[in-house]
Amino acid sequence: MSNIFDAIKERRSIRKYKARSVPKELIEEVLVAACWAPSAHNSQPWRFIVLDDPLIKREISKAMAESWAEDLSKEGIEIRPKVHKMRVERFATAPALILACTTMVGMKKFSDKRRSDAERDLVMQSLGAALQSMLLAINEKGLGACWFCAPSFCKPTVRRVLKIPEEIEPEALITIGYPAEKPLPPSRKLISEYSFKDKWGKGLN
């Protein structure tokens, strides 16, 4: 097994893939990796839909692109056909797609909004941990992936197309495949720019 720090630093967001299918066994392995992430109350509030059927992938891709374009049109922004097509093809042609969802099942129920919102925050933090584990597992298997938050902006559309029940919230879409690109290492902030000691603004040294 590679050093975990190296794995974290080497992982990249991959948006271009080879025309090669991803074995079902590998998809199942990365789903298992996601499930081993920590979660609030050990509720494991994540739910995943593996999108494999080309027709379904294209249908959901077109529906999401249309919802995206409609939202922007309300702000007076018109999307060029080329950009619209790119949005569709990005997901429709990805070798594999995993839709990440959340559920409040297993979470504590409160009568007041403040505590209910806090439970919702815990769910989102739990999903974030699961997706990071998934991305690292994908990288370890020699695959590439990219985490898109697009479903968050068109939940009714995603729910309708994939027949997702109301109590399940679509949150993110992960594209997966064998990399057809090698992105350069992204810039990262210095630790002094985002970390403090004892109180806000006090340097670590």
Q: pLDDT digit string (tens) for 2-16? A: 589 999 999 999 999
Please report how the helices 54-73 and 155-162 are oriented relative to each other, as an axis angle in degrees rounded to 10.
Answer: 160
Which whole number is the average pLDDT over 56-72? 92
DSSP run (H or E) holding 65: helix 54-73
* Residue in 92, 35, 23 with CA at minimum distance from that of residue 61: 92
pLDDT computed for residue 106 by the predictor? 86
Q: Decide yes or no: CATH 2.40.50.140 for domain 17-179.
A: no
Extents of the domains making up the chain: 17-179
d(CA 52, CA 128): 23
pLDDT computed for residue 34 by the predictor? 98
pLDDT computed for residue 2 by the predictor? 57
Which whole number is the average pLDDT over 28-40? 97
d(CA 23, CA 63): 27
Instruction: Report whether pLDDT(195) > 80.
Output: yes
Which whole number is the average pLDDT over 191-197? 96
Instruction: Report whether pLDDT(129) > 70.
Output: yes
pLDDT tens-digit profile of 136-190?
Answer: 999 999 999 999 998 888 999 999 999 999 999 999 999 999 999 999 999 999 9
Tokens of 10: 């080497």
CB 101 within 8 A of CB 49: yes
Instruction: Report whether pLDDT(84) > 90.
Output: no
List C-alpha distances in Å: 8 to 137, 161, 190: 10, 34, 16
Q: Is the pTM of this model over 0.85?
A: yes
* Residue in 54, 59, 67, 133 with CA at minimum distance from that of residue 100: 133
pLDDT computed for residue 203 by the predictor? 93
pLDDT computed for residue 1 by the predictor? 46
Our measurement of the distance from residue 120's CA atom to the centroid of its chain's CA atoms, rounded to an integer in Å, reads: 17
106 or 191: which leads in pLDDT: 191
Lowest mean pLDDT among 44-53, 77-86, 182-191: 77-86
Instruction: Report whether pLDDT(27) > 50.
Output: yes
Instruction: Report whether pLDDT(112) > 70.
Output: yes
